[in-house]
């Protein structure tokens, strides 16, 4: 008969509740600030719902009425330098942290609303209404609120999407050694999302000072928490990852505050992440001014029971009992909070007509539409640009991959802000291909091997970049894995600068390799250029030589935008003239290179297809001008070089290796024809792989990818169609 023994968990998990003694001992100024914060947030939310009901809020109005206790109780325990983020229902979190920032000395229930507080309320309301004076210049609205000065990293419309970003901020705090922490707020719906659980694991493994704060309001829209999980005590999630956890009554702000203080003590002392589950209740539906009972998923009796536990009343009653305030004082505070919101709204509205309307002069200009999708590259104004032909250093015949590792070593040696992370980057003599060789030995605290969790570590990299103190280099072992991390790659990292108004740089480099021809099959072989090129915000470089790789990587690491650096396994072990003694030069982002001059046809290509195109032209005797694009994003295409060539050749062939469905040439061919139609003798011709992804079979893999034979056929076709067939 087998023997068994009971196993115990590593981390404590307990429920915390206040006693009357806790309320009697609580600092009077803390209770006063709590009460004022609660009332200001409540009045703010009521005004938002009122304006939404009048059609003056475009988009959702995710009210936090009823949930204020969790946000205020936790935020008042934080430093101004601590950082938070949240999800779509985050007005209360944003305001709680920001009120504490503008009034660090505390708030007095008997005093008028200060001008700094009034300005905060008005700017926040302006943002929710989509107006230019908002914190994100009207781009963020209700769900995307950011104020870096106050420590608000940015709230998020993707449920659970901001959690990995908060881990990045926590990593930066740990690395800086300041003792600061990050708090990420999310709800019961996000608890079961992969990115949240991945981040819990990563934060615990790396002992990051990150508090996972669960606002358990019991309903994800209309789905009750017990319907979607067998363990409805959501703080139990901490046990799986060794994270200390607290369960508290979120309608009791003091209980939340005390639990947060205990969690902060652990995190500031280097003990790693913590988790707090606050039981709260949103008094209204997911969106808008109606209660949940109006939609049939909650009863009026349930709603009445929770309204009887209103955190505003809880704090006020305890303060009255201690004679810190009286009922008239509470009523006066309530009136001042409402008046502040009336004033804030009045500044934004035109009331001269039959119905109030948004003031026309406060809308953002339509010209602002595409501004700050990416930066202006002014950060590279002093870069030393040197093309290979003008290089004054030594060039030796060496493997491409050696230059990949050496330039990163050089940059990490000269810039302590750079941190490298990815799967196995710290092992196997430099990852699976040697591209990070020597980095773990030279920079053990900045070369980080991650769990297999692209969503978590890509988002963590994004959070580090948004924090601004460090510059992450994230490696995806294969580009196909971008689909696993699609939310972080495309919804978070790519959109952040634009979404938050243009002031949020995102200096992140994402490295990955195309592995067509290696036999790794359909899920490890794609060329990601076509997908990333459709995502506004990303810059893309694809170096075809080690010399260009060094220069483009140096530029990418100075760029304030996210940059995808695409490598190719076919190039790694090939030998080229490679820089040895000078690894500090740059190659401009957005500058193509003529790899072979010619007058018969313009061949536009990149990465591992550049050399085969040159070889095919020489072999066939075609006077082809082969242009190595180098920069592939929409803003980085060098139309000056491309256009100059097309005006001479009147003929274009786009060459890429990958499959038709994700092809970069679709975008490129369309742009060429719209820009240069009058100069073309025929439509743009293309060489690309098949429709299907590469297969494991060597024969089928070769058939799926474009190679020398397809390039030759393409050159013959483009010349024949122009009336100049080749022999």
Catalytic residue numbers read 524
- CA-nearest of 236, 265, 234, 264 to 250 is 234
Q: How far apart are CA 63 and CA 471, in angstroms?
A: 36
The distance of Cα 317 from the centroid of its chain, to the nearest Å, equals 42
Helix (H) or strand (E) holding 215: strand 210-216
Helix (H) or strand (E) holding 573: none
- CA-nearest of 70, 92, 21 to 318 is 21
> Residue by residue, what is the 3-state secondary structure of 622-650?
CCEEEEECCECCHHHCCHHHHHHHHHHHC
Helix, strand counts (H, E) of the chain? 26, 23
- CA-nearest of 614, 616, 604 to 666 is 604
- HSE (CB half, 13 Å, CA atoms) of 232? 10
- HSE (CB half, 13 Å, CA atoms) of 545? 20
Q: Which two tokens stand for residue 273?
A: 């992440």
- CA-nearest of 305, 267, 262 to 166 is 267
Q: How far apart are CA 362 and CA 126, in angstroms?
A: 9
Q: Reduced to 3 DSSP states, what percent helix, strand and coil does the chain have, rounded to the nearest 5?
A: 45, 15, 40
Q: Enumerate the β-bridge partners of residue 265.
A: none
Q: Which two tokens stand for residue 447?
A: 């070369």
**What is residue 541's three-state secondary structure?**
strand
């Amino acid at each position: 008969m087998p023997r068994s023994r009971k196993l115990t968990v590593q981390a404590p998990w307990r429920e915390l509740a206040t006693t009357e003694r806790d309320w009697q001992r609580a600092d009077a100024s803390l209770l006063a600030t709590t009460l004022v914060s609660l009332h200001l947030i409540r009045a703010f939310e009521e005004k938002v719902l009122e304006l939404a009901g009048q059609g003056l809020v475009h988009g959702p109005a995710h009210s936090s009425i009823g949930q204020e206790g969790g946000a205020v109780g936790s935020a008042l325990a934080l430093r101004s330098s601590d950082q938070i983020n949240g999800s779509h229902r985050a007005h209360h979190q944003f305001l709680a942290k920001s009120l504490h920032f503008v009034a660090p000395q505390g708030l007095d229930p008997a005093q008028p609303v200060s001008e700094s507080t009034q300005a905060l309320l008005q700017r926040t309301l302006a943002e929710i209404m989509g107006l230019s004076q908002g914190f994100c210049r009207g781009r963020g609205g209700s769900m995307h609120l950011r104020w870096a000065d106050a420590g608000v990293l940015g709230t998020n419309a993707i449920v659970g999407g901001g959690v990995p970003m908060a881990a990045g901020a926590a990593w930066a705090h740990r690395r800086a050694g300041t003792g600061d922490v990050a708090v990420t707020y999310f709800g019961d719906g996000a608890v079961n999302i992969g990115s949240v659980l991945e981040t819990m694991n990563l934060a615990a493994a790396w002992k990051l000072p990150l508090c996972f704060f669960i606002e358990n309001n019991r309903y994800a829209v209309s789905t009750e928490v017990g319907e979607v999980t067998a363990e409805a005590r959501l703080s139990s999630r901490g046990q799986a990852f060794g994270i200390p956890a607290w369960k508290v009554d979120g309608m009791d702000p003091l209980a939340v505050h005390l639990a947060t203080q205990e969690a902060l003590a652990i995190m500031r002392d280097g003990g790693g992440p913590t988790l707090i589950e606050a039981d709260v209740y949103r008094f209204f539906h997911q969106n808008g001014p109606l209660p949940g009972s109006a939609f049939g998923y909650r009863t009026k009796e349930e709603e009445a029971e929770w309204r009887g536990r209103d955190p505003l009343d809880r704090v006020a009653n305890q303060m009255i009992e201690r004679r810190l305030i009286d009922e008239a004082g509470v009523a006066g505070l309530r009136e001042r909070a409402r008046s502040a919101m009336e004033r804030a709204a009045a500044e934004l509205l035109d009331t001269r007509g039959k119905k109030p309307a948004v003031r026309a002069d406060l809308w953002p200009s339509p010209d602002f539409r595409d501004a700050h999708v990416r930066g202006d590259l002014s950060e590279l104004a002093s870069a030393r640009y040197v093309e290979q032909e003008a290089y004054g250093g030594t060039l030796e015949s060496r493997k491409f991959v050696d230059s990949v590792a050496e330039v990163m070593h050089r940059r990490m040696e000269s810039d302590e802000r750079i941190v490298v992370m990815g799967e196995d980057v710290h092992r196997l003599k430099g990852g699976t291909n040697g591209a990070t060789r020597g980095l773990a030995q030279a920079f053990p605290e900045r070369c980080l091997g991650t769990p297999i969790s692209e969503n978590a570590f890509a988002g963590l990299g994004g959070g580090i970049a948004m924090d601004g103190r460090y510059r992450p280099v994230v490696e995806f072992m294969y580009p196909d894995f971008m689909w696993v991390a699609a939310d972080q790659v495309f919804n978070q990292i790519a959109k952040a600068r634009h979404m938050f108004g243009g002031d949020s740089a995102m200096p992140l480099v994402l490295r990955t390799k195309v592995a067509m021809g290696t036999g790794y099959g359909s899920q490890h072989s794609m060329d990601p250029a076509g997908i990333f090129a459709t995502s506004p915000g990303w810059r893309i470089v694809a170096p075809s030589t080690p010399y260009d790789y060094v220069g483009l990587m140096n530029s990418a690491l100075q760029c304030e935008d996210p940059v995808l650096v695409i490598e190719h396994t076919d190039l790694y072990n090939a030998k080229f003239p490679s820089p040895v003694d000078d690894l500090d030069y740059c190659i401009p982002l957005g500058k193509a290179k003529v790899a072979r001059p010619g007058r018969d046809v313009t061949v536009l290509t990149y990465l591992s297809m550049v050399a085969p195109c040159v070889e095919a032209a020489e072999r066939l005797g075609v006077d082809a001008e082969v242009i190595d694009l180098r920069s592939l994003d929409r803003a980085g295409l060098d139309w000056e070089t491309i256009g100059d060539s097309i005006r001479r050749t009147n003929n274009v062939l786009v060459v890429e290796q990958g499959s038709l469905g994700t092809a970069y040439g679709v975008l490129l061919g369309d742009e060429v024809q719209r820009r240069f139609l009058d100069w073309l003798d025929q439509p743009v011709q293309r060489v690309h792989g098949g429709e299907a992804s590469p297969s494991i079979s060597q024969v089928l893999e070769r058939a799926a990818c474009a190679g020398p034979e397809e390039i030759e056929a393409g050159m013959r076709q483009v010349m024949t169609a122009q009336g100049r067939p080749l022999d």
